């Protein structure tokens, strides 16, 4: 009896799982993903699981181009051999001696990846090794970088052309295409290529649905908080204001350019988490950071059609005294100030930015996230969008009046202010009875 019970429980769980993931399978089928794989993965046992996950993606009809990087292993090799190549700006000058090591490292990574695809462990789902072939070839033609700041860049190269047809043929046959970060020039000499740039150029040329960076680092953070989704404009602003720091900033300029040039989404995923790529692609909230020109969950300006849903969303918070009472007419009057996040067609979060442009001040107001969606960083997304809008409108300072969320704003860079910090018109409407805390933030740099 007990065993039967377990069987049915497991079957129920399987049915529910299939129902959850099947929309994603349908959504991704026939899509093209370009994956930038940090070559350091070949030294980790996780490689085998990662390869199985890629095989699974290929088996469900996703077209995959893997561009692997070798930078970290090349750097280690250089250190071991006391090689210190010169640099011009951010570029390394690869001479003949460096290239000897580059060839060995790249060759060895390529062999490790290829053999992982051939190795099918007992019990691997669907024994997919039989169908998911990996194909590498001379798809990339390179050219010399030439001279930068008077320095001959020798074997540091860049992409000259791509064999689109050759790659497409392999993809049509259901093969995974593997592209190394080196390419021959017109006279047959080999050039070292920046693998991230190469991956992004390929993603742009093929207008892939996704460019995925699979690297070691954990998620991208901003001001200490993990970013799950970020819009291109937000990312560009975060880069200029240096809010995003560390290794991963290297990826963002390439990624934002990619989105601007038509690649729908760029994901940053750490391969250290087992199954990370599947979690990112087949669960609602994912595990990595996603950059998109199409705002996730549709964060957009509010329209007249949203007013009824905004009122319904904020009603319980008004009743608890968290938010100021607002009527339909109030919302209609200030509609241009409001933004909303819509999930599955329903407004689940809202916020407003009221401007006092002549004073360079803006009021962040009515930040409200539906109870069921709290903790999913919708509050952060709203605030990020309002701050971006304030920045674009050249506002210098933001203030907010809150009865229940002072800590939340303080953790996001707002500091305690007083009534005296408010513009006069707002001081006049300040309710001593509500006794809201005043918080302020400078956004001028
Ligand atoms: C404040 C509010 C907008 C945050 O939205 P959210 O989407 O849950 O926020 P995020 O997911 O971006 O951040 C969640 C974090 O903030 C914390 N947090 C949420 N509400 C908080 C509050 N009122 N005070 C302090 N911290 C709060 C959570 O504990 C969580 O912390 P953790 O990351 O350490 O676990 C939401 O709680 C809300 O709608 N509150 C009621 C309305 C309100 O008071 N609005 C402010 C007046 S303008």
Question: What is the 437 CA–ligand 1 centroid distance (Å)?
Answer: 15
Q: What is the pLDDT of residue 120?
A: 54
- What's the CA angle centered on 215, arms 184 and 94, to 5 degrees? 35
Best mutation site among 224, 313, 337, 379 for ligand 1, i.e. most ligand atoms within 8 A of its Cβ? 379
CA nearest ligand 1 atom 1, residue: 405
CA nearest ligand 1 atom 23, residue: 405
Question: What is the 368 CA–ligand 1 centroid distance (Å)?
Answer: 9
Q: Tokens 């407003």, residue?
A: 352
Where does CATH 3.40.630.30 sit in the chain? Answer: 299-442
Smallest Cα–Cα separation from 228: which of 255, 258, 268?
268
Q: What is the pLDDT of residue 252?
A: 87
Using only C-alpha atoms, the chain has a radius of gyration, in whole angstroms, of: 26
Tokens for 161?
Answer: 């052309």
Q: What is the pLDDT of residue 209?
A: 93
CA nearest ligand 1 atom 34, residue: 375
Q: What is the pLDDT of residue 24?
A: 76
Tokens for 373?
Answer: 């969606």
Q: What is the pLDDT of residue 203?
A: 97
CA nearest ligand 1 atom 41, residue: 368
Question: What is the 17 CA–ligand 1 centroid distance (Å)?
Answer: 30
Q: What is the pLDDT of residue 379?
A: 92
How is 344-392 classified by DSSP, letter by letter? TTEEEEEEEEEEEGGGTEEEEEEEEE-GGGTTSSHHHHHHHHHHHHHHH
Where does CATH 3.40.1160.10 sit in the chain? Answer: 2-292
Best mutation site among 364, 405, 441 for ligand 1, i.e. most ligand atoms within 8 A of its Cβ? 405
CA nearest ligand 1 atom 16, residue: 408
Q: What is the pLDDT of residue 313?
A: 96
Q: What is the pLDDT of residue 375?
A: 82
| CA gap 144, 305 in Å, rounded | 56
- Please state which CATH number belongs to domain 2-292: 3.40.1160.10
CB-defined site of ligand 1, < 6 Å: 317, 322-323, 365-369, 374-380, 400, 402, 404-405, 407-408
Q: What is the pLDDT of residue 281?
A: 87
Environment class of 187 (CB within 10 Å of its CB; exposed 0-12, middle 13-18, buried 19+): exposed
Q: Which helix (DSSP H) or strand (DSSP E) does residue 340 occupy?
A: strand 338-343
Q: What is the pLDDT of residue 296?
A: 55
Best mutation site among 408, 409, 413 for ligand 1, i.e. most ligand atoms within 8 A of its Cβ? 408
Nearest atom (ligand 1) to Cα of 369 = 39
- Please state which CATH number belongs to domain 299-442: 3.40.630.30
Question: What is the 443 CA–ligand 1 centroid distance (Å)?
Answer: 21
Q: What is the pLDDT of residue 294?
A: 59
| Spans of the chain, pLDDT less than 70 | 1-5, 7-8, 23, 120-132, 219, 222-225, 245-246, 284-285, 294-297, 344, 444-445
Question: What is the 332 CA–ligand 1 centroid distance (Å)?
Answer: 26
Residue 195 CA: distances (Å) to CA of 208, 251, 267, 391? 17, 11, 16, 34
Q: What is the pTM of this model?
A: 0.62
Question: What is the 312 CA–ligand 1 centroid distance (Å)?
Answer: 19
Question: What is the 16 CA–ligand 1 centroid distance (Å)?
Answer: 31
Count CB atoms within 10 A of the CB of residue 41: 24
Q: What is the pLDDT of residue 131?
A: 54
């Amino acid at each position: 009896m007990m065993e039967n019970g377990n069987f049915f429980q497991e079957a129920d769980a399987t049915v529910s799982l299939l129902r959850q993931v099947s929309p994603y399978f349908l959504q991704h089928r026939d899509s093209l993903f370009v994956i930038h794989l940090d070559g350091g993965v070949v030294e980790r046992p996780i490689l085998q699981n990662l390869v199985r996950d890629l095989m699974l993606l290929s088996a469900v009809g996703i077209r995959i181009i893997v561009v692997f990087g070798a930078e970290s292993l090349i750097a280690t090799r250089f250190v071991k051999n006391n090689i210190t190549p010169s640099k011009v700006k951010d570029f390394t000058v690869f001479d003949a001696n460096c290239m000897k090591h580059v060839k060995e490292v790249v060759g060895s990574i390529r062999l490790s990846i290829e053999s992982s695809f051939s190795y099918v462990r007992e019990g691997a789902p669907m024994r997919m090794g039989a169908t998911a072939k990996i194909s590498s070839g001379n798809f990339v033609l390179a050219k010399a970088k030439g001279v930068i700041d008077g320095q001959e860049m020798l074997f540091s190269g860049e992409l000259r052309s791509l064999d689109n047809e050759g790659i497409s043929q392999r993809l049509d046959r259901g093969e995974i295409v593997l592209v190394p970060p080196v390419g021959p020039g017109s006279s047959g000499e080999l050039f070292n290529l920046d693998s991230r740039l190469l991956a992004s150029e390929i993603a742009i040329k093929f207008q892939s649905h996704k460019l995925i960076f699979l690297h070691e680092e954990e998620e991208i953070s901003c001001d200490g908080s993990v970013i799950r989704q970020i819009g291109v404009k937000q990312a560009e602003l975060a880069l200029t204001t240096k809010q995003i720091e560390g290794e991963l900033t290297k990826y963002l300029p390439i990624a934002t350019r990619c989105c601007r040039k038509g690649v729908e989404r760029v994901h940053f995923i750490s391969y250290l988490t087992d199954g990370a790529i599947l979690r990112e692609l087949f669960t609602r909230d994912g595990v990595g950071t996603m950059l998109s020109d199409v705002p996730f969950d549709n964060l957009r300006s509010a329209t007249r059609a949203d007013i009824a849903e905004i009122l319904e969303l904020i009603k319980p918070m008004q009743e608890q005294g968290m938010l100021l009472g607002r009527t339909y007419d109030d919302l209609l009057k200030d509609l241009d100030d409001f933004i909303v996040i819509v999930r599955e067609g329903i407004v689940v979060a809202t916020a407003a930015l009221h401007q006092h442009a002549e004073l360079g001040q803006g009021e962040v107001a009515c930040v409200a996230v539906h109870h069921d969606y709290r903790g999913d960083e919708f509050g952060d997304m709203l605030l990020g969008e309002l701050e971006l809008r304030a920045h674009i409108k050249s506002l210098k300072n933001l203030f907010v009046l809150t009865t229940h969320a002072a800590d939340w704003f303080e953790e996001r860079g707002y500091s305690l202010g007083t009534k005296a910090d408010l513009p006069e018109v707002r001081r006049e409407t300040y309710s001593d009875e509500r006794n809201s805390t005043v918080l302020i933030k400078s956004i001028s740099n």
